Amino acid sequence: MSNEPRGATPQPGADAGGSGDSEGAPPDRDDAPEVGEAPPSPEESLALIDATDARARRELGGREAPIWYVWGLAWLLAFGVSYLAAEPPAPLGGLPDLVLALLWPAAIGGGIAFQSIYIARHTRGRGGRTVRQESRVGFAYGAAIVLTAALIPMLDLLPENPGDDPVVLWDAAMLFVFTLAVLFLVIGAYENDRLWTGSGLWLGAVNVLAALAFPDHYGALLAVLGGGGFVVGGVLRDLRFRRDR
């Protein structure tokens, strides 16, 4: 006979040889798939991973727009002043040669310095693959600019005086812009980022169009459409940053 008192109610989960505290039973999970629900396909899983990874890079990387605004200003100054000093009627043709010689290194160096400091400040104290990727992208960006700038004088693509031979000056600029356009396309593919890809396509198209169709106004077009493209890219990144917060 059972020693269990009459009227005793069996405990939930109790069975012969088991206790009533449901020890070892799996906890309830809200995210468990419903009965009959098909698991996501491999394609859907990869798409979800890519979207999550891209969003994590944007959030951990912080607000990127200031970098693009600074580069837009650097392009406007470098290309704009060079154009006004080199192309007739050359309203800035009277600028000292030293100013023109230091213009591009100052614009490029200032952009690289700001970008490096900005990225370092926003990734300080953070770790993980996403932050390392962002640091590598920033390093690749700066390295590509420095290496291209070092290659230009080796190829004799710089005139002794920008006002003497503007064609040579723009040949050097074309190589510089081409390098950046390719770099942006590679970064866009690496980060699965349509804004990087779009920026690369835009710079490449402006570079080719200005060189082929409007060679006499190459510098002006790169100052307005190139520098303006960076500003527009910054605005789009600001909008995305606010949307994802």
Q: Is 86 in contact with 100 (CB distance < 8 Å)?
A: no
Q: Coil, strand or helix: which one is 137?
A: helix
pLDDT above 90 coverage of the chain, percent: 30
Compute and round to an integer the Cα radius of gyration of the chain: 29
- Measure the CA–CA gap between 65 and 239, rounded to whole angstroms: 9
pLDDT confidence band for 38 (50 / 70 / 90) = confident
Task: Give the mean pLDDT of the chain.
Answer: 77
pLDDT band, residue 125 (cuts 50/70/90): low
pLDDT of residue 108: 87
Residue range 204-226: mean pLDDT, rounded = 94
CA angle 76, 77, 80 (to 5 degrees): 70
| pTM exceeding 0.85 | no
